[in-house]
């Protein structure tokens, strides 16, 4: 349901159910604000007339409101505001928490463009083609400064930060092209850092993918990089002596030397590649050299996708002993 009449195009299109949820909340807040503003304004005029000075020497008398009146005008706004808080929290968490099983695309922001990496291999700049009616999760990072990924038609916005991954998700209900903006001032050409999200019928999307020709899946590129950087000399699947085995690792909780647990997610893998000594898994020495400055953001994404392609704790080839410890972590998704 689109609440805003089409004839008054003050609002951007709504392309997802979450966008409609945001609008409903917004219009409710607008309605409450309007009703109370009008009520207060009307009362001011009424009291101006009702309690006007009727003679030259009339002196005002102090008035005290009754207790019931004080309680009423405190409790009613409290209830309305708590209702809006609860509703707002629900919408906020729906927007922030990507559903499990969403298709994952990687986004890299840089001065001044958006780069996209499809799971099937194709890369795009300033345009992202996605299928209609699917949960789409974007895993985003920046090569330089802070950017912000903002799609008005989805009513959602997320900061894109150098040095870590943030997520953004949506499920578009309407095919079409939707504007993408950078919403964080990031330098001279910030206002040109625009793009579009192109939502296509699933068949059209398949066709579009096919026209991109034979592209190498990002995980395959990562696998090549893995050998090229000689990661495989230590991270071998037949020996756990020097470095943790990467098969079945993604999504697992690893114990560190100090006894604390860390969830193996994109941010942990990234940190461990760039700054291996930061969080060393218990039982291993900090032998790994840093790859800071030797890998681009795309390289990192390729390596992470390769490690993900080796399966998580739920996949069949992971050892049975991993299963119990990781059940808890797999129930989380961030």
Shortest distance (Å) from residue 147 CB to ligand CUA:
3
Shortest distance (Å) from residue 179 CB to ligand CUA:
14
User: What are the backbone dihedrals phi and psi of residue 139, each rounded to the nearest 5 degrees, phi first?
Assistant: -110, 115
Cβ nearer to ligand CUA, comparing 11 with 168: 168
Contact yes or no for 15/176 (Cβ under 8 A): yes
SS3 label, residue 138: strand
What are the CA-CA distances from residue 158 to residues 98, 284, 300 (Å)?
Answer: 13, 36, 21
Which residues of the shown chain bind ligand CUA in the complex (CB under 6 A)? 109, 112, 147, 182, 184-186, 190, 193
Cβ nearer to ligand CUA, comparing 144 with 224: 144
Shortest distance (Å) from residue 292 CB to ligand CUA:
23
Cβ nearer to ligand CUA, comparing 73 with 192: 192
State the Cα–Cα distance between residues 326 and 262, nearest whole angstrom. 11
Put residue 204 in one of left, alpha, beta given phi > 0 → left and psi -120 to 50 → alpha.
Answer: alpha
Shortest distance (Å) from residue 192 CB to ligand CUA:
9
Cβ nearer to ligand CUA, comparing 111 with 215: 111
Tell me the CB-side half-sphere exposure of residue 15, using CA atoms within 13 A. 28
Only one residue has tokens 């000075």, namely 53
State the Cα–Cα distance between residues 35 and 322, nearest whole angstrom. 58
Shortest distance (Å) from residue 142 CB to ligand CUA:
8
Shortest distance (Å) from residue 164 CB to ligand CUA:
16
Contact yes or no for 273/303 (Cβ under 8 A): yes
Shortest distance (Å) from residue 115 CB to ligand CUA:
12
State the Cα–Cα distance between residues 167 and 216, nearest whole angstrom. 24
Tell me the CB-side half-sphere exposure of residue 155, using CA atoms within 13 A. 20
Nearest Cα to Cα of residue 301 among 113, 103, 96, 105: 105
Tell me the β-bridge partners of 106. 117, 139
Cβ nearer to ligand CUA, comparing 193 with 273: 193
Transcribe 92-137 into DSSP letters: HHHHHSPPTTPEEEEEEEETTEEEEE-TTS-EEESEEEEETTS-EE
Cβ nearer to ligand CUA, comparing 98 with 109: 109
Shortest distance (Å) from residue 167 CB to ligand CUA:
18
Cβ nearer to ligand CUA, comparing 84 with 146: 146
């Amino acid at each position: 349901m689109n609440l805003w009449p089409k004839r008054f195009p003050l609002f951007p299109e709504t392309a997802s159910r979450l966008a409609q949820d945001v609008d409903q909340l917004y219009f409710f807040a607008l309605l409450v604000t309007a009703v109370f503003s009008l009520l207060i304004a009307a009362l001011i005029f009424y009291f101006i007339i009702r309690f006007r000075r009727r003679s030259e020497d009339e002196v005002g008398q102090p008035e005290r409101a009754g207790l019931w009146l004080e309680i009423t005008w405190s409790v009613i706004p409290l209830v309305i505001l708590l209702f809006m808080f609860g509703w707002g929290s629900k919408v906020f968490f729906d927007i922030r928490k990507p559903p499990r099983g969403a298709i994952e695309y990687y986004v890299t922001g840089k001065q001044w463009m958006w780069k996209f990496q499809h799971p099937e291999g194709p890369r795009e700049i300033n345009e992202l083609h996605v299928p209609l009616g699917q949960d789409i999760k974007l895993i985003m990072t920046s090569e330089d400064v802070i950017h912000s990924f903002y799609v008005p038609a989805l009513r959602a916005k997320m900061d894109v930060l150098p040095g870590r991954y943030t997520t953004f998700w949506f499920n578009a209900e309407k095919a079409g092209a939707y504007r993408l903006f950078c919403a964080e001032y990031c330098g001279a050409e910030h206002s040109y850092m625009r793009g579009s999200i192109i939502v296509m019928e699933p068949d059209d999307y398949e066709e579009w993918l096919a026209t991109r020709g034979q592209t190498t899946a990002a995980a395959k590129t990562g696998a090549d990089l893995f050998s090229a950087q000689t990661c495989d000399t230590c991270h071998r699947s037949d020996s756990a002596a020097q470095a943790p085995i990467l098969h079945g690792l993604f999504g697992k909780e690893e114990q560190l030397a100090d006894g604390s647990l860390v969830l193996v997610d994109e941010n942990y893998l990234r940190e461990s590649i760039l700054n291996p000594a930061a969080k060393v898994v218990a039982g291993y020495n900090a032998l790994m050299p840093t790859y800071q400055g030797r890998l681009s953001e795309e390289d990192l994404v390729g390596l992470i996708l390769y490690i993900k392609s080796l399966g998580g704790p739920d996949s069949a080839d992971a050892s049975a002993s991993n299963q119990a410890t990781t059940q808890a972590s797999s129930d989380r998704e961030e």
